[in-house]
């Protein structure tokens, strides 16, 4: 009797060990944002209606927006670690802030930032680490 209980216990342990191994946690694959997301971001960044910008300011802003978006997706698509990407994005955000302050001044910058944050909000989760910039 003791021998059959011992064999039964070993059999149960063997079954549980196979199940535990089969249920290993799989890490999800991180997707790099698509070109469509880049178009959405540029559309939001380029929306300056109601801000009263001059044609020169609008032109300079749109040119900077294109480079800014290109740089964001270049960083996100890179092979660095998340911490390295965060560092690069923080540097990019700092440079962007200096440019915008110089171009728009503090008053217009506040209005522009508020407008952009509202426009970017629906797809902010898709931006991943880049959402730190908005």
- What would the pLDDT profile of 15-51 be if each residue is shown by its tens digit? 666 544 445 555 554 454 456 888 999 999 999 998 8
Residues in the chain where the model's pLDDT stays below 70: 11, 14-35
132 Cβ contact partners less than 8 Å away, ≥ 6 residues apart: 86, 89, 90, 93
17 within some domain: no
39 within some domain: yes
Do the beta carbons of residue 129 and residue 82 sit within 8 Å? yes
Count of domains in the chain?
Answer: 1
9 within some domain: no
2 within some domain: no
62 within some domain: yes
Structural domain boundaries enclosing 126: 35-133
Q: How far is CA 40 from the centre of its chain?
A: 13
51 within some domain: yes
């Amino acid at each position: 009797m003791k021998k059959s209980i011992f064999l039964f216990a070993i059999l149960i342990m063997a079954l549980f060990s196979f199940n535990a191994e089969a249920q290993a946690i799989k890490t999800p694959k991180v997707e790099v944002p698509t070109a469509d997301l880049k178009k959405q971001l540029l559309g939001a960044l380029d929306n300056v209606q109601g801000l009263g910008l001059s044609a020169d300011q609008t032109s300079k802003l749109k040119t900077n927006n294109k480079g800014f978006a290109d740089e964001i997706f270049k960083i996100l698509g890179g092979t660095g670690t998340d911490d390295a990407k965060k560092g690069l994005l923080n540097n990019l955000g700092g440079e962007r802030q200096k440019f915008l302050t110089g171009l728009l001044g503090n008053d217009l910058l506040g209005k522009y930032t508020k407008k952009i944050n509202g426009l970017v909000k629906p797809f902010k989760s898709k931006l991943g680490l880049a959402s730190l910039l908005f």
